[in-house]
């Protein structure tokens, strides 16, 4: 449904619920809708929520990476009256053109859920990624690279994934972690034979680790790395053991988070 169709749809509802507004122009309806959403967004930006009975609650969802604020999104939780209405609608209407469809949609806990014929929930890729403890970009990579292994159910709401598919995501993640660990454990640092101490940039090249990552490691793991940092002629130098410890930390992090 495009904007013009939605405005016409909203106009019908306004005239039905408020007869005194019969004949309201589409432009006025558009301004009303825009004002409502603009006011909701303004409240959400302040970190407040909007309780809009009997519809539901609009609330801020803060997205963070570590300690950094990445974005603020509008969340919505529908009240039971709306859930009941959605359930009644979807229980009577076919979700697909084919009556043989085994997929059902129902409302629960403030959100629509898709289930298979046994009532088992099917998940979006975002939900499946969260359950498998992998990032969404990684889940996208897995579904393309391992499409022959990951079962997918096509629904009117888009592709959905069962619990068995989530288990496959977990297994693929484990396989990638193991492969990464083997690959990096066998990593050999090539030291120049005539040098015993190195600059940090040299360590960066030898270990294939960026300078920002090295600084992060030094700040996060001082007990491990500081013993191998030496002051020579008023300049910091880093030993061979320092480079080996960096690779150990790198391997450990890659094993923990996978690819």
CATH ID of 3-77, from 4.10.520.10, 3.40.50.2300, 3.20.20.80, 3.30.479.10: 4.10.520.10
Question: Using the 8-state DSSP alphabet, how is residue 227 labeled?
Answer: G
pLDDT, residue 166, reads 92
pLDDT, residue 106, reads 54
Total Cβ atoms within 10 A of residue 42:
11
Tell me how far apart the alpha carbons of residues 249 and 255 are, in angstroms, rounded to a whole number. 10
pLDDT, mean of each 10-residue run, the chain (259 residues):
86 88 91 89 80 79 66 72 63 47 52 69 86 87 91 80 92 78 52 71 86 88 89 84 87 59
CA angle (187, 190, 226) in 5-degree steps: 80
Tell me how far apart the alpha carbons of residues 92 and 105 are, in angstroms, rounded to a whole number. 11
Domains of the chain by residue range? 3-77, 83-163, 197-257
pLDDT, residue 119, reads 72
pLDDT, residue 189, reads 60
Phi-psi region of 133 (alpha: psi -120 to 50; beta: other; left: phi over 0): left
Q: Give the C-alpha distances (Å, rounded to integers) separating 20 from 2, 10, 17, 23, 244.
A: 27, 15, 9, 9, 78
pTM for this prediction: 0.38
pLDDT, residue 98, reads 42
């Amino acid at each position: 449904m495009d904007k013009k169709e939605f405005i016409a749809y909203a106009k019908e509802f306004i005239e039905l619920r408020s007869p005194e507004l019969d004949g309201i122009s589409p432009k006025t309806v558009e301004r009303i809708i825009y004002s409502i959403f603009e006011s909701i967004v303004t409240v959400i930006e302040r970190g407040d929520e909007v309780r809009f009975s009997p519809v539901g609650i609009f609330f801020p969802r803060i997205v963070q990476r570590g300690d950094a604020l990445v974005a603020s999104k509008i969340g919505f939780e529908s009240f039971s009256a709306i859930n009941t209405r959605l359930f009644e609608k979807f229980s009577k209407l076919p979700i697909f053109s084919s009556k043989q469809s085994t997929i059902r949609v129902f409302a629960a806990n403030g959100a629509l859920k898709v289930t298979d014929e046994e009532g088992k929930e099917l998940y979006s890729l975002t939900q499946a990624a969260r359950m498998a403890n992998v990032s969404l970009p990684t889940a996208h990579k897995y579904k393309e690279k391992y499409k022959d292994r990951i079962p997918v159910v096509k629904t009117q709401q888009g592709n959905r994934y069962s619990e068995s598919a989530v288990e496959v995501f977990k297994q693929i993640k484990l396989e990638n972690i193991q492969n990464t660990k083997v690959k990096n454990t066998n990593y050999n640092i090539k030291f120049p034979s005539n040098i015993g101490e190195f600059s940090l940039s040299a360590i960066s090249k030898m270990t294939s680790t960026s300078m920002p990552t090295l600084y992060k490691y030094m700040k996060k793991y001082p007990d491990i790395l500081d013993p191998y940092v030496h002051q020579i002629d008023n300049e910091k130098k880093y030993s061979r053991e320092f480079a080996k410890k960096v690779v150990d930390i790198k391997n450990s992090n890659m094993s923990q988070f996978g690819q």
